[in-house]
Chain A
Amino acid sequence: MTLLSIDRRSFQNFDWLLLFLTLLLVGIGLVNLFSATQAGTEGGLPSEFRRQLVALALASIALIAALLFDYRRTERMAMPFYLATLLLCASTLIFAPVVRGSRSWLLWGPLSLQPAELAKVGLVLALARHFQRNPASEIRRLRDLLVPGLIVAAPAGIIVAQGDMGVALLTVLIAATFLPFVRIPARAWAMVAAAAVASLVGLWKFAFKDYHRDRILQVLDPSRDPLASGYQAIQSKIAIGSGGLFGKPYMEGTQTQLQFLPTQHSDFIFSVLGEEWGFVGCVVVLGLYLGLLLWGLVIASNSKDGFGAMLAVGVVGMLFWPVAINVAMVLGLAPVIGVPLPLLSYGGSQLLANMMALGLLLNVSMRRYMF
């Protein structure tokens, strides 16, 4: 096998459908983001939009880099990459300034990076590698989940320390995507659930201080503070609902253009879509996501080795959870947690991480016959 293994065969097997779905979502994202960011500006390209274009260029490079090498080589790089992302994450605790209550951003001149996003890619790689060596189907006892548990706990713990509860929750959910593939009996799961409930109650009663409890209740019930999250939820509902079947004309949604949504270009980007493209636009975008995710599962199924399959599953989890949480939040089905919508929200770090993950998925897909 050559090092650069884009040989003829893998090129012939290139997964054009996956690439097409990805580019379509990114394209729609840009069109939508332009409308969201130019609100309230004086013509010209809004600065956030320009930053996103730069990020897209970098993310495309990441995508290509992720598919160039045979993914079985990537496997060897999984742990070093995972550890590197951990280190990067941990460094925020020292170097990052506090922005809106959390230390998530490394700033370097005009560049800013949210290492937690990259940590998700590292996590998926590390877990896929682990389940390659210890096949999930052989895992019958809870104690076999100790190591994967630690692999998740490290980034999740650091992200909690950063103060970013939303992303920490996401990390745990991504890891949980692997759980349907282990063979642990129901009885054991019941025990886990009991232990989890007991320790949560214990923490709540004895370890947490009042302001901890407050903050958690705040997340669970945003109407506790109608000044911030409740306001967003209401405005978001109005924006989406007022879009109706076909939406208002592009760049003329009043909710968006009058900036009733405080973070419309990042966490609430889906409401902009809802207002200006209506039910039809939303269903198309959700359909594209659904297609992407189901196709990812097909790739997992077609993959000829454990690492490829698990990698594909991990990438699906990495995309599914933020989409689900973000859309649920925007539609008023879940509390307001700061989770961006993959590929559509403003934010270079999530774009970079998600494109890199999709590159890995393309990689697995194009090498499905290479044995």
Chain B
Amino acid sequence: MTVSQLGKSEIPIDGRLRLVGAFIVVAFALFVFRLFQLQIVEGETLRTRSEQNSVRTIRLEAPRGDILDREGRVLATTRPAYELQVIPSGLSERKTTFAVLAQLLDADPALLEDRVGVRKGAERFQPVTLIDDLDFDRLAKVETHRYALPGVVTDVQPRRHYVEGAMAAHLMGLIGEIGRDQLERRDREGYRPGDIIGQAGLEARLESHLRGRAGGRNVVVDVAGREVEVLDEVAAVPGGKVVLALDRDLQREAEAAFLDVPDGEPAKMGAAVAMDVRTGEVLVMLSLPSYDPNAFAGGIDVETWNALTDDEWDPLQNRAIQNRYPPGSTHKPIVAAALLADGIVTPETRVFCPGYFRHGRRTYRCWKREGHGYVDIHQALKQSCDVYFYTNGVKLGIDRLAYYARAFGLGHRTGIRLASEAPGLVPSTEWKKRKKGEVWYPGETVSASIGQGYNLYTPLQLAVAYAALANGGKVLRPRLLLRLEARDGTLLEEFSPEVRGEVPISPEHLAVVRRGLAAVVEEPGGTGYRARVPGVRVAGKTGTAQVVGTEHTEGMEEEEIAIRRRDHAWFGAFAPVDAPEIAVGVFVEHGLHGASSAAPVAQRILARYFEKKAEIGEAVQVSESGWGG
């Protein structure tokens, strides 16, 4: 034993080292064997393959999943798009080919030829796209004349197709090529440059469900890029289906109501939302002006994009959730409920309206100059008497008002799970101090109690608040989706109603407000008579929000006022009064009057809703009697 064996005395280390050495030798022997196999045995074959190389990977795009309405009608799907391509190296009779092609496509041959130009080197084998979405007729023509068109090929790619075009465009959103920052963030989900990804609306929100998984095919191609052999293939997995709560019929009706205007008048802009007050299901979500999302499906061209972004009316904006506006008188039912709940008024309390209200040194006018006389809360809602709300609003105070407004879901996001939802604004003394560094002036409470001033709501928020008035005080999360399904229809996920809060107001008090709102539509002298639906009791409230101070428009005829300066029009409604099912919020941008501009839109949505319900009812009755007979 030598000195040096101190540290490792009785270790059988050498034996173990030999074991490790043997392991290493075996591994290397395996590698040499494999090298022999590849380089000597298969060497010739693989050498040939490298010469006629080579392997190309062809991406097999996964078709994006369908988006359906609540009754299973397709809103967005994926269709084949045919690309017409030319492979320059294959153009054996260039002149004839372009002449024939031009005739078939009804195009100028020189123009087509210019697009291909002169290609050199490897570029000669790369296909040049002439038309990226060939319609079926022209495709058929080209296909039947293939014999006369050497070098011309067609390629098919899945392309997003929005069946209803601009209708519900904002809800569908947009797809587009993935951006660099998105690529970094979503690296692990297997995105590649050039991939199409949902960029807005439901397309973005449901990206991972709709997208599916791209497949691929490794093929051996010859020097001209022709497929020689398929090595392996992984099929694309199509994206899943989405069933929305949206009702296509109601959505169409709402759109038509906005767009049907007498000749010579500008088309209405704005937003409409209809919601089931029991479940929060969003039956209608409309925003106008709109855009055609199909323009984005194949990569949008610069002119169209610029036209959309430069448009002064922002067609890409979803007015139902992204824009916020002063609510005007549609705010009054909320104020009324607050007044009752805090005991500032009872249903019997009366206020005398002389047509104006004095507070401090200022005078606030009622919209009706000659005054409403004595009004109680029912009359005040029905006739939209400003003085009643001025008088009692000041007693309630801004902070209590804010407390109740927030309880109705106003002033914060509804939680609809779409990106860029605006929170709206409910002012309070604390808010003003924080944001403006100023104290709250009591005079501001006067304006706030009729919905003028700082308050800003989105049309969706209005619908949620009215739904809460209707359903006995439950603030629901607006729900866009009924369920997610796999491509083959198997249920993946089902969504259920979600109550986000209850308003702290007794059922009796809410009933008083509901009766007042029913009177608005039903009784003579109510401002919402244009929302009446035969056979159904409707409750609602009009609203007009000033855009510029009255001094700018004093004495002008309505038609003379520039569109930009015209007041906004609102209408909030629900029906049937006794057992509410649906709430509607309509906003017409620069629509002047809630009663004449917004109420008819709500009326058409409600009428269509109950008409459909009656049809289904009849159908059910028929089938039931069928059983009996």
Give chain A's interface residues, CB within 8 Å of chain B.
98, 100-101, 132, 135-137, 163, 177, 180-181, 211, 215, 223-227, 230-231, 234-235, 237-245, 254-255, 258, 260, 274-275, 278-279, 282-283, 286, 289-290, 293-294, 297, 300-301, 303-307, 309, 313, 316, 320, 324, 327-328, 331-333, 369, 371
Closest residue of A by beta carbon distance from B190? A225
Question: 20 other contacts beyond A101-B188, A181-B11, A230-B216, with CB at 8 A cut-off?
Answer: A98-B187, A100-B187, A226-B216, A238-B54, A241-B38, A244-B44, A244-B47, A245-B39, A245-B40, A255-B54, A258-B54, A283-B32, A290-B24, A293-B24, A300-B13, A305-B7, A316-B20, A320-B24, A328-B31, A371-B6
Partner of A180, one of B20, B28, B188, B216: B20
Is B231 a contact of A283 with CB atoms below 8 Å?
no
When distances are taken between beta carbons in the complex, the residues of chain A under 8 Å from B189 are 211
Tell me if B214 counts as interface (CB < 8 A to partner A). yes
Partner of A231, one of B31, B45, B55: B55
When distances are taken between beta carbons in the complex, the residues of chain A under 8 Å from B10 are 137
Is B54 a contact of A226 with CB atoms below 8 Å?
no
Tell me if B491 counts as interface (CB < 8 A to partner A). no
Is B13 a contact of A304 with CB atoms below 8 Å?
no
When distances are taken between beta carbons in the complex, the residues of chain A under 8 Å from B32 are 283, 286
Distance in angstroms from B188 CB to nearest chain A CB is 6
Tell me if B252 counts as interface (CB < 8 A to partner A). no
Is A234 a contact of B36 with CB atoms below 8 Å?
no
Distance in angstroms from A299 CB to nearest chain B CB is 10
Interface size grouping (class) on chain B: 35 or more
Is A304 a contact of B6 with CB atoms below 8 Å?
yes
Compute how far the CA of A136 lies from the CA of B217 in the bound complex, rounded to whole angstroms: 51
Is A230 a contact of B17 with CB atoms below 8 Å?
no
When distances are taken between beta carbons in the complex, the residues of chain B under 8 Å from A240 are 35, 38-39, 46
When distances are taken between beta carbons in the complex, the residues of chain A under 8 Å from B39 are 240-241, 243-245, 274, 278-279, 282
Taken residue by residue from 212 to 228, chain B's Cβ proximity to chain A (1 for < 8 Å, 0 otherwise) reads as: 00101110000000000
Is A331 a contact of B47 with CB atoms below 8 Å?
no
Partner of B31, one of A225, A226, A307, A331: A331
Compute how far the CA of A215 lies from the CA of B16 in the bound complex, rounded to whole angstroms: 37
Closest residue of A by beta carbon distance from B10? A137
Residue pairs across A and B with Cβ atoms less than 8 A apart, 7 shown, are A230-B218, A234-B218, A244-B44, A258-B54, A301-B14, A304-B5, A309-B8
Is A234 a contact of B35 with CB atoms below 8 Å?
no
When distances are taken between beta carbons in the complex, the residues of chain A under 8 Å from B54 are 235, 238, 255, 258, 260
Closest residue of A by beta carbon distance from B188? A101
Tell me if B111 counts as interface (CB < 8 A to partner A). no
Closest residue of B by beta carbon distance from A328? B31
Distance in angstroms from B183 CB to nearest chain A CB is 10
Is A242 a contact of B46 with CB atoms below 8 Å?
yes
Distance in angstroms from A298 CB to nearest chain B CB is 8
When distances are taken between beta carbons in the complex, the residues of chain B under 8 Å from A300 are 13, 17
Interface positions, chain B 156-191, Cβ under 8 Å from A, are: 184, 187-190
Is B14 a contact of A242 with CB atoms below 8 Å?
no
Is A238 a contact of B49 with CB atoms below 8 Å?
yes
Closest residue of B by beta carbon distance from A319? B24
Q: Quick one: given A227-B57, A294-B21, A309-B8, are A242 and B31 in contact (CB under 8 Å)? A: no
Is B187 a contact of A231 with CB atoms below 8 Å?
no
Is B34 a contact of A331 with CB atoms below 8 Å?
yes
Compute how far the CA of A215 lies from the CA of B188 in the bound complex, rounded to whole angstroms: 8
Tell me if B42 counts as interface (CB < 8 A to partner A). yes
When distances are taken between beta carbons in the complex, the residues of chain A under 8 Å from B4 are 304-305, 369, 371
Give chain B's interface residues, CB within 8 Å of chain A.
3-8, 10-14, 16-17, 19-21, 24-25, 27-28, 30-32, 34-36, 38-40, 42-47, 49-51, 53-55, 57, 59, 184, 187-190, 192, 214, 216-218, 231-234
When distances are taken between beta carbons in the complex, the residues of chain B under 8 Å from A100 are 187
Is B12 a contact of A137 with CB atoms below 8 Å?
yes
Distance in angstroms from A13 CB to nearest chain B CB is 13
Compute how far the CA of A305 lies from the CA of B4 in the bound complex, rounded to whole angstroms: 7
Scoring B25, B31, B55, B234 by chain A CB atoms within 10 A of each residue's CB, the highest score goes to B31
When distances are taken between beta carbons in the complex, the residues of chain B under 8 Å from A136 are 11
Q: Quick one: given A137-B10, A241-B38, A244-B39, are A327 and B5 in contact (CB under 8 Å)? A: no
Is B27 a contact of A324 with CB atoms below 8 Å?
yes
When distances are taken between beta carbons in the complex, the residues of chain A under 8 Å from B38 are 237, 240-241, 274, 331
When distances are taken between beta carbons in the complex, the residues of chain A under 8 Å from B21 are 293-294, 297
When distances are taken between beta carbons in the complex, the residues of chain A under 8 Å from B231 are 234
Is B57 a contact of A297 with CB atoms below 8 Å?
no
When distances are taken between beta carbons in the complex, the residues of chain A under 8 Å from B27 are 320, 324
Is A235 a contact of B234 with CB atoms below 8 Å?
no
Partner of A241, one of B6, B8, B30, B42: B42
When distances are taken between beta carbons in the complex, the residues of chain A under 8 Å from B47 are 241-242, 244
Distance in angstroms from B18 CB to nearest chain A CB is 8
Closest residue of B by beta carbon distance from A230? B218
When distances are taken between beta carbons in the complex, the residues of chain B under 8 Å from A177 are 20
Distance in angstroms from B444 CB to nearest chain A CB is 48
Is B7 a contact of A225 with CB atoms below 8 Å?
no
When distances are taken between beta carbons in the complex, the residues of chain A under 8 Å from B31 are 286, 327-328, 331
Distance in angstroms from A32 CB to nearest chain B CB is 16
Compute how far the CA of A303 lies from the CA of B44 in the bound complex, rounded to whole angstroms: 48
Distance in angstroms from B12 CB to nearest chain A CB is 7
Compute how far the CA of A137 lies from the CA of B19 in the bound complex, rounded to whole angstroms: 15
Distance in angstroms from B60 CB to nearest chain A CB is 9
Scoring A180, A238, A303, A316 by chain B CB atoms within 10 A of each residue's CB, the highest score goes to A238
When distances are taken between beta carbons in the complex, the residues of chain A under 8 Å from B187 are 98, 100-101
Q: Quick one: given A294-B24, A301-B17, A328-B31, are A306 and B8 in contact (CB under 8 Å)? A: yes
When distances are taken between beta carbons in the complex, the residues of chain B under 8 Å from A224 are 234
Compute how far the CA of A244 lies from the CA of B48 in the bound complex, rounded to whole angstroms: 11
Compute how far the CA of A239 lies from the CA of B51 in the bound complex, rounded to whole angstroms: 10
When distances are taken between beta carbons in the complex, the residues of chain A under 8 Å from B45 are 241
When distances are taken between beta carbons in the complex, the residues of chain B under 8 Å from A242 are 43, 46-47, 49-51
Q: Quick one: given A211-B188, A241-B45, A301-B13, are A227 and B216 in contact (CB under 8 Å)? A: yes
